[in-house]
Amino acid sequence: MTKILRKLSLLRYQAQMRENYTLTRLYVEADLSQGQVIDLSKDQAHYLGGVLRMTTGGSLRIFNGRDGEWEAQLTDISRKSGQMKVTRLLREPYACPDIWLCFAPVRKHRNAFILEKATELGVARFQPVTTQHTQYGKLRLDKMQSQIIEAAEQTERLDLPELKDPVTLEQLLGDWPEGRTLIFADEVGDAKPALETLKEISSSCALLIGPEGGFTPQERDLLREQNFVIPVTLGPRILRADTAALSLLTLWQSVQGDWG
Amino acid sequence: MTKILRKLSLLRYQAQMRENYTLTRLYVEADLSQGQVIDLSKDQAHYLGGVLRMTTGGSLRIFNGRDGEWEAQLTDISRKSGQMKVTRLLREPYACPDIWLCFAPVRKHRNAFILEKATELGVARFQPVTTQHTQYGKLRLDKMQSQIIEAAEQTERLDLPELKDPVTLEQLLGDWPEGRTLIFADEVGDAKPALETLKEISSSCALLIGPEGGFTPQERDLLREQNFVIPVTLGPRILRADTAALSLLTLWQSVQGDWG
């Protein structure tokens, strides 16, 4: 019986794949509603017309992070410009659970990696945090935003994670909102395992990941003095900052988020 | 009271950091025991003498994946050759829990990423698997091995994950060992959440991750026909193969591995 159900659900899944997932998925800024006509940006036209070689009449999926996912049809397309018409609603709006990732930016490709993976793992807000060991030039927020959008397009998200301006650790803790717990990955032996701690949390939550080289002793003390901060451990091995971010997000989604 | 304990444990931690973690950590192939003298390979000599500019008398930490972690002292070092003497045992041998990662190799940098992250997350064995959608040239197992070693060095592991030769999915399933459960990440709706499933498993375990583009319907059927295979879901978003690998490993370590 289970086998038959599985088979049916597999067929349903494949049908859905054929119908939807095969269609190119694009983020747009415009509001979305039935029948609306949207001008393509130069980049979008280049991508659809130039790279994908799509032609007038071709269908794609679009989302703006607010209005769900819609099917659209190209009414005009060249390599430099084009238009599409919104034809039908494919999926109702859905916002990822309310989980923040506060992270000290790390080296270029690891940073891109954190943005991509955390977007896949359904993070709601990115909060860059500068710490004493943080080493990077000026943050390219525009570049980070486009990396987030690209990840959201491929992971079938209907919303976009919010990207905040960087703050210092002191600012982050000083302006901390009422009723949100801050979980930080700490190698110190007395912290409880992450899963155990995350299970017990009844408030909204944020995760904090240190830079390569970790927090300084002063920063650790400052963090542990806050009544809204809980340190957790992620096992006996030393994890890179980007690994710790993904592991914490995975565990949070499994016990507090939408993986249940 | 807790605060005092935390403070003490923090100081202990910092002391340990000063004593050990600041020392360069190197993987060697030789057996390790008190007083033993080891010739440096050309690469090791170049790294220690040329890159790090270490001199005779300098200390480092070495491990071979079998004999724990030892302190060693350079007795002779140039940019091309050198010797070190094993001075004392720092950590007893410790093997990571018995978890396998069977994965379809993906594009170059994502592959390197899976090897690095899974090594940090304490995987015991890597089993490359070729599937119908697997696209890559010949696998550079030597390169993969050195990526694994580099990750093991930095994540403070005392053992090395085993890297097996690639097999086809059919071979993998055909030669499957008695009493080991194979968990695979499946988007099909009827699969149970990964955490829930992993909690209940009483046997040893392996994780299977498909290629970009996923498994074919035939492969899904083949997998679901095996009585040792259990499909699980990782939430409502579509995860890349590398993300799914890390999430499954994180969840397994939290409920079955050494993160508890």
What tokens does A237 get? 């091995």
- pLDDT number for residue B186: 85
> What's residue B5's pLDDT?
55
Residues B114 and B79 in one domain: no
Q: Look over chain A and give the mean of its residue pLDDT values, rounded to a whole number.
A: 90
Residues A116 and A231 in one domain: yes
CB contact under 8 A, B189 and A13: yes
Beta bridge partners of B102: B127, B208
Please say if the pLDDT value at position A205 is more than 60: yes
Contact of B234 with B244, CB cutoff 8 Å:
yes
Count of structural domains, chain A: 2
* Closest CA of chain B from A63, distance in Å: 15
Predicted confidence at residue B2, as pLDDT, reads 55
Which of A189-193, B7-11, B46-50 is the least confident region? B7-11
Q: Do B193 and A14 touch (CB under 8 A)?
A: no
Which member of A5, A14, A196 has the closest CB to residue B190? Answer: A5
**Rounded to an integer, what distance in angstroms lies between the CA atom of residue B244 and that of residue B233?**
10
pLDDT bracket for residue B135 (50, 70, 90): confident
CB A13, CB B187: distance < 8 Å: yes
Res B10 pLDDT > 60 = no
A37: domain CATH number is 2.40.240.20
pLDDT at A85: 97
What's residue B72's pLDDT? 97
The pTM score is: 0.89
- Tell me, yes or no, whether B121 and B148 share the same domain: yes
B9 neighbourhood in chain A, CB within 8 Å: 188-190
Per-residue pLDDT reduced to its tens digit, A93-152: 999 999 999 999 888 788 999 999 999 999 999 999 999 888 776 889 999 999 999 999
- Select from A2, A9, A10 the residue whose CB has the most chain B CBs within 10 Å, as the one to mutate to test that interface: A10
- Give how far A242 is from chain B: nearest CA, Å: 9
CB–CB contact A221 B190 (8 Å):
no
Nearest-by-CA chain B residue for A110: B113
Same domain for A77 and A168? no
Contact criterion met (CB below 8 Å) for B191 and B231: yes
Compute the nearest-CA separation of A11 from chain B (Å): 9
**Per-residue pLDDT at B133:** 85
The C-alpha atoms of residue A93 and residue A214 are separated, in whole angstroms, by 38
A237, A145: one domain:
yes
Element spanning B79, H or E:
none
pLDDT of residue A74 exceeding 50: yes
Last residue of a domain, one of A59, A91, A123: A91
Q: List the CATH number of the domain containing A252.
A: 3.40.1280.10
Query: Are both A141 and A232 inside the same structural domain?
Result: yes
Give the structural domain span for A30: 2-91
Q: Which amino acid is at A64?
A: N
What does the pLDDT look like over A23-48, one tens digit per residue?
Answer: 899 999 999 999 999 999 999 999 99
Contact criterion met (CB < 8 Å) for A253 and B235:
yes
A120/B239 Cβ within 8 A: yes
Query: Which residues of chain B are within 8 Å of residue A15 when distances are taken between CB atoms?
Result: none
Contact at CB, A154 and B221, closer than 8 angstroms: no
Most trustworthy range by pLDDT among A150-159, A184-193, B183-192: A150-159
Which residue in B226, B215, B219 sits closest to B187, CA to CA? B215
User: Do both A65 and A115 map to the same domain?
Assistant: no
CA A48 to chain centroid, in Å, comes to 24
Give the whole-angstrom CA distance, residue A76 versus residue A85. 9
> What is the per-residue pLDDT for A16?
52
How far off is chain A from B48, nearest CA to CA, in Å?
Answer: 21
Band the pLDDT of B190: cuts 50, 70, 90.
Answer: confident
Distance from the Cα of B157 to chain A's closest Cα (Å) equals 6
Does the beta-carbon distance from A120 to B243 stay under 8 Å? yes
Interface size between A and B, measured as CB pairs under 8 A = 140
Residue A131 has phi, psi (to 5 degrees) of -120, 175
Average pLDDT, chain B: 90
Instruction: Say whether both B59 and B121 belong to one domain.
Output: no
In the predicted structure, residue A169 carries a pLDDT above the cut 90: yes
Residue A97 to residue B178: CA distance in whole angstroms? 40
- Please compute the mean of the pLDDT values over residues B177-187 and round it to a whole number: 92
- What are the chain B neighbours of A235 within 8 Å (beta carbons)? 121-122, 253, 257-259
Q: Do A110 and A152 fall into the same domain?
A: yes
pLDDT of residue A68: 96
Tell me if B258 and A236 make a contact (CB, 8 A cut-off): yes
Q: Which of B1, B7, B10 to mutate to test the interface with A (most CBs of A within 10 A)?
A: B10
Pairing mode, strands A25-27 and A59-63: parallel
Q: Please tell me whether residues A177 and A81 are part of one structural domain.
A: no
Query: What is the Cα B76 distance to its own chain's centre?
Result: 32
Shared domain check, B122 and B209:
yes
Compute the distance between CA of residue B59 and CA of residue B224 in angstroms, rounded to an integer.
53
- B200 and B232 in contact (C-beta within 8 Å)? no
Average pLDDT for residues B126-133, to the nearest whole number? 93
Angle formed at CA A59 by CA A54 and CA A60, multiple of 5 degrees: 95
CB contact under 8 A, B14 and A117: no
Structure confidence at residue A212 (pLDDT): 82
Domain endpoint, select from A36, A65, A91: A91
Residues B53 and B146 in one domain: no
Distance from CA of B204 to the nearest CA of A (A): 19
User: Final residue of a domain: which of B34, B60, B91?
Assistant: B91
Local structure of B167: helix, strand or coil: strand
